[in-house]
Amino acid sequence: MSEVRIAGVGLTPFGRMPDRTGRDLFAEAGLAALDDAGVAPPTVEHLFFGNFMGELAEHQGHQGPLMAEAVGVNAPATRLETACASSGVAVREAVKTVRNGEADVVLVGGMERMTNMGTAGATDGLSIAADDLYEIRAGMTFPGAYALMATAYFEEYGGSVEDLAHVAVKNHDNALPNEYAQFRNAITVEQALDAPRIADPLGLFDSCPISDGASAAVLVSEEFAEREGLDAAVSVTGSGQGGDKLALHDREWLARSPATEKAAEMAYDDAGIGPDDVDLAEVHDCFTIAEVLAIEALGFYDYGEGVGAARDGETTRDGRLPINVSGGLKAKGHPVGATGVAQIASLTKLLRGTHPRSSDLDDPRVGLAHNAGGTVASATVHVLEVER
């Protein structure tokens, strides 16, 4: 089984780009990743591409070969859809393809356009990641769903909206020097608490934005990297995926994320590490409560203990376990099909010391990426390690 190396990564800025097409966005990210890797497009043997709602946003299905053409790749191309975890699942398939020897060079990425749909259209499009029969038809939106999860958490474990405000403040601060981030503005706890309520108890600053953007990474076998002399010190050493029931009312817990627990257990076992070995993580903070649920399900905190982590400075850049140093979905942005690979790209840069926040960290060696779909009915976890 071959070791999987990350040879290159690429991103577009995340934000409002309603006049750009999906293929244009992915071409920018994909070609940047290939250039970063020093790999020519004809060398790519497979493309795995994550996208959630291209049929709604661009009236475009069958996006795999379209995106391959956009970056000059003439190879099998597969689109994967798992809501907001679409490109996290694409990474998992790419890892398996390199490991089992089917390919030495795989391009993996994702893209989403949403701002061209308007707020109402994007909200409606995003909602189809929930259960149509029992949630969407009843008027459920994702702010409402995560508000239910936050309420359940507060009732079961305690915590407050002020605790969540500290998560938002931390992630906005992390994003300040990130040239790809949608929001590069600092906020205060007071601003977060005074902001309009979106779905009580969640306010405006508890929610990630509607975003456009693309991401890409070049994964190669260790043998290819050595043969071609590539600078690919970061490896994907662990991969896992978990699932849960789609509708919230069918679940055993609203204040826990079993899908993340399962994905984390698989990834840790695969990498031969545990949560205590992780130096930093990019987790799926589509809402501030989602970051709390993630860091507990990943084993970084006991249940009920993660809600105060940002407030206590434990998950800040200089804390015990930096979380979402890129700014997270909250401030970096969340073009849903691109998010999973964007996390991989951010971690790769942080681990190899080329991210604008690298100098703020204490020489990390092990990073973790957590990507979730919907209300975490799907989750992927990947472990990245760097050889010094």
Domain harbouring 256, CATH code: 3.40.47.10
For the chain, 388 residues long, the average pLDDT of each consecutive 10-residue run is: 93 97 98 98 98 96 97 98 98 98 98 96 93 94 96 98 98 98 97 96 97 98 96 97 97 97 98 98 98 98 98 97 98 98 98 94 96 98 92
Quick check: is 131 in a domain?
no
**What is the residue range of 308's domain?**
4-117+209-386
pTM: 0.97
Quick check: is 252 in a domain?
yes
Quick check: is 160 in a domain?
no
- 3-state helix, strand, coil split of the chain in percent (to 5) is 45, 20, 35
Quick check: is 80 in a domain?
yes
Phi then psi for residue 330, to 5 deg, are: -55, -45
Which residue among 46, 166, 172, 334 is the active-site one? 334
Quick check: is 176 in a domain?
no
Quick check: is 158 in a domain?
no
**Total number of domains constituting the chain:** 1
Q: Does the annotation count 370 as an active-site position?
A: no
Cα Rg, the chain, nearest whole Å: 19
In angstroms, rounded to a whole number, what is the distance separating the alpha carbons of residues 66 and 55?
13
Quick check: is 161 in a domain?
no
Whether residue 170 contacts residue 327, with contact meaning beta carbons closer than 8 Å, is answered with: no
Q: Does the annotation count 62 as an active-site position?
A: no
Quick check: is 290 in a domain?
yes
Which residue among 84, 208, 284, 286 is the active-site one? 84
Residue closest to 178 by CA, chosen among 290, 363, 332: 332
In angstroms, rounded to a whole number, what is the distance separating the alpha carbons of residues 117 and 125?
9
* pLDDT of the residue at 62: 97
